[in-house]
Amino acid sequence: MKVGRRGRRVYALTEHGRKLLELATPYWERAQERMRRELGDLEWSVLNSFTERVTQAALRAELSRSTNGRPKTAA
């Protein structure tokens, strides 16, 4: 992990990690398809929309951390 611009964390997979991801991807895709069938298209869409909103909120919260320092004391 590296800390990039604005304190964003940048991750990179090792070669071993890439191979594991490649092996796991078909299983993940099948699990997603089962969930989509179980939820139905409307609920699947709502879930994806909500997940995107949560992700964006988490990123904003992470960026605002640097402005959440200790309260300044009166001089």
Q: What is the pLDDT of residues 31-42, one digit of tens each?
A: 999 999 999 999
Q: What is the pLDDT of residues 4-33, one digit of tens each?
A: 666 667 788 999 999 999 999 999 999 999
C-alpha distances (whole Å) from 18 to each of 13, 21, 37 are: 6, 5, 28
> Does 42 reside within a domain?
yes
Residue 52 structural domain: 2-65
- E-only strand ranges, the chain: 2-3, 9-10
> Does 39 reside within a domain?
yes
> Model pTM?
0.60
> Does 14 reside within a domain?
yes
How many structural domains is the chain composed of?
Answer: 1
Does residue 44 contact residue 36 with C-beta atoms inside 8 Å? yes
Does residue 50 contact residue 42 with C-beta atoms inside 8 Å? no
> Does 22 reside within a domain?
yes
Tell me what pLDDT residue 3 has.
Answer: 62
The span from the CA of 49 to the CA of 42, in Å, is 11
> Does 54 reside within a domain?
yes
